[in-house]
Amino acid sequence: MPRAQFDFLDLPRQMPKELAVATRLGLDVEIYGKFEPAEAKAQAGRCLDCGNPYCSNGCPVGNAIPQWLELVRQGRLFEAATLAHETNPLPEICGRVCPQDRLCEGACTLETGFDAVTIGSIEKYLVDEAFKQGWRPDLSRVKPRKERVAVVGAGPAGLACADRLVRAGVSVTVFDRHDEIGGLLTFGIPPFKLEKSVIATRRQVLEGMGVRFQLGLDVGRDIEFGKLIAGHDAVFVGTGATTPVDARLPGQSLPGVLPALPFLIANARRVLGRTLDADDAAMLDLKGKRVRVLGGGDTAMDCVRTARRLGAAEVSCVYRRDAESMPGSRREVKNARDEGVEFLFHRAPLAIEGEGRVQALRVARTEAAGRGAFSIVEGESETLAADVVILAFGYRASPPAWLAEHGVRLADSGLIVGGGASPYQTSVPKLWAGGDALRGADLVVTAVRDGRDAAAAMLRQFKGIAIRTAA
């Protein structure tokens, strides 16, 4: 099918239709719709195929973006889905939650002057539509191997590892303490960014490929880690980083002060229709309240936008630097603004105040001090009324006790130390790790890359043929 070489000159960048704010605040669904086939083909046709794929280079998993954009343009959807999965075991998820503005789209040649190709939305479209039409990974030529691998943690690193291993014929069982797969994909990321049905579909696909899940089972409590080591040829650990950074603010133990992750998990359980205990129900009781969220990353954006959906009367994001210094996705900041969130920049929290429960947040004014640093302006502080304060300062490693008990080397930070025959192999040769447990809190896509590449390294050690991964 011939293509016009300069489609981008006549066709502007287009995102899928966005739900109106008044509508989306009352629904637990993604705010962006899906491209129609003609729209996806047209937007894919904006790609220059510039010869030096900056988009691929800007992608942590090295996606063959120009190639699958061209396949979408030609309507060769199943081939596009096959190619997308060659580098990314979870493309429909990364298409939704990656900060494309800082990765592939930010590196797009058209970003300066013509607006980047809508890579993330096309990635989402091509996988969703291929699944809908019946596409599934072709494992018909895969020969079963003798090796058995246990994966601890059904988050993005664990799922990516399991995907790559079963594609090579290895028997894989994934263990997770939650009753659904996905880890923070399910229990951390809100449905306005990633609907839970997307994870359910991925589970069906993985089970169809031969992955077995043992859910609601806590390793170390319900099953001894030593038994996993003894009963498998290798174990992959992808337990994440879920210990909140402690800001040590005076008053942070007051009722009404909420750590971000338990708040988001409670909301996810509500969305999934789970029965909430009294503590979870209390955290989600925000109707008519003034909510202050401390932090400037994507977790903070998830919290402010969730608070708006739970009926908070006033929601603000309090951040100690300026807007350009915020680590969160620019798209998420825009969405939060659209939904009525106020941003209070150059304010550093000093204390949380109240009698019996939160009543106010005291902050100091700050000013830039070069290279992303800031300094507090002496004598300039203010008190902000607050009914609820949510702490979203990030997360540290959460190493289970059984790691140290079995001789796994840990850094002082709690991160698993890799660097055996592979960066993903630990001090215990049969134990591998990846994702936030190994590198610290990072993006979903980097966890996917770790799981994928750890599996490839395992396969090399099993003396098999490693499946294709990006360079």
Which CATH number characterizes residue 182's domain? 3.50.50.60
Same domain, yes or no, for 257 and 366?
Answer: yes
Q: Alpha carbon of 278 to those of 266, 271, 275, 281, 438: distances in Å?
A: 11, 16, 10, 5, 34
Tokens linked to 266: 């409670």
Same domain, yes or no, for 383 and 409?
Answer: no
pLDDT (0 to 100) of residue 380: 87
Same domain, yes or no, for 195 and 267?
Answer: no
Same domain, yes or no, for 25 and 97?
Answer: yes
Question: Last residue of a domain, which of 132, 164, 199?
Answer: 132
Q: How far apart (Å, rounded) are the C-alpha atoms in residues 7 and 56?
A: 20
**Sheet order of strands, 374-385 included:** 347-353, 360-368, 374-385
Cβ proximity of 288 and 380 under 8 Å: no
Residue 467 lies in a domain: no
Residue 47 lies in a domain: yes
How many structural domains does the chain have?
3
Q: How far apart (Å, rounded) are the C-alpha atoms in residues 426 and 274?
A: 37
pLDDT (0 to 100) of residue 471: 34
Tokens linked to 23: 């509508």
Question: Last residue of a domain, which of 132, 162, 197?
Answer: 132
Cβ proximity of 353 and 383 under 8 Å: yes
Longest CA–CA span in the chain (Å) reads 71
Same domain, yes or no, for 385 and 409?
Answer: no
> Among 131, 129, 127, 120, which residue's Cα sits nearest to residue 14?
120
pLDDT (0 to 100) of residue 470: 42
pLDDT (0 to 100) of residue 54: 95
Any idea what the Cα angle at residue 27 is, between residues 326 and 332, rounded to 5°? 15
The low-confidence residues of the chain, meaning pLDDT below 50, are 468-471
Q: Report the interhelical angle of 77-87 vs 65-73 (nearest 10°).
A: 170
Number of neighbouring beta carbons within 10 Å of residue 183: 28
> Among 137, 132, 139, 113, which residue's Cα sits nearest to residue 8?
113
Residue 466 lies in a domain: no
Residues 6 or more apart whose CB falls under 8 angstroms from that of 6 comprise none
Q: Alpha carbon of 294 to those of 33, 61, 259, 316, 429: distances in Å?
A: 30, 31, 10, 9, 41
Same domain, yes or no, for 263 and 354?
Answer: yes
Strand ranges, E, within 311-373 = 314-318, 342-344, 347-353, 360-368
CATH of the domain at 56: 1.10.1060.10
Q: Residue 298: which domain range?
A: 245-391
Same domain, yes or no, for 282 and 345?
Answer: yes
Same domain, yes or no, for 387 and 249?
Answer: yes
pTM tops 0.85, yes or no: yes
Q: What residues pair up with 214 in beta bridges, in sequence order? A: 175
Residue 126 lies in a domain: yes
Same domain, yes or no, for 293 and 387?
Answer: yes
Residue 469 lies in a domain: no
Interstrand relation of 347-353 and 360-368 (parallel, antiparallel or unpaired):
antiparallel
Q: What residues pair up with 375 in beta bridges, in sequence order? A: 367
Same domain, yes or no, for 354 and 431?
Answer: no
Q: How far apart (Å, rounded) are the C-alpha atoms in residues 12 and 291?
A: 38
Same domain, yes or no, for 251 and 380?
Answer: yes
Residue 23 lies in a domain: yes
How would you classify residue 17: left for phi > 0, otherwise alpha for psi between -120 and 50, otherwise beta?
A: beta
Question: Last residue of a domain, which of 132, 160, 181?
Answer: 132
Helix (H, G, I), strand (E, B) or coil at 175: strand
Q: How far apart (Å, rounded) are the C-alpha atoms in residues 58 and 63?
A: 9
Tokens linked to 352: 């949380």
> Among 98, 54, 106, 165, which residue's Cα sits nearest to residue 445?
98
pLDDT (0 to 100) of residue 5: 61
Residue 161 lies in a domain: yes
Q: Alpha carbon of 377 to those of 127, 315, 350, 365, 380: distances in Å?
A: 50, 25, 13, 6, 6
Same domain, yes or no, for 250 and 384?
Answer: yes
Q: How far apart (Å, rounded) are the C-alpha atoms in residues 447 and 445?
A: 5
Cβ proximity of 260 and 295 under 8 Å: yes
Residue 265 lies in a domain: yes
Cβ proximity of 161 and 238 under 8 Å: yes
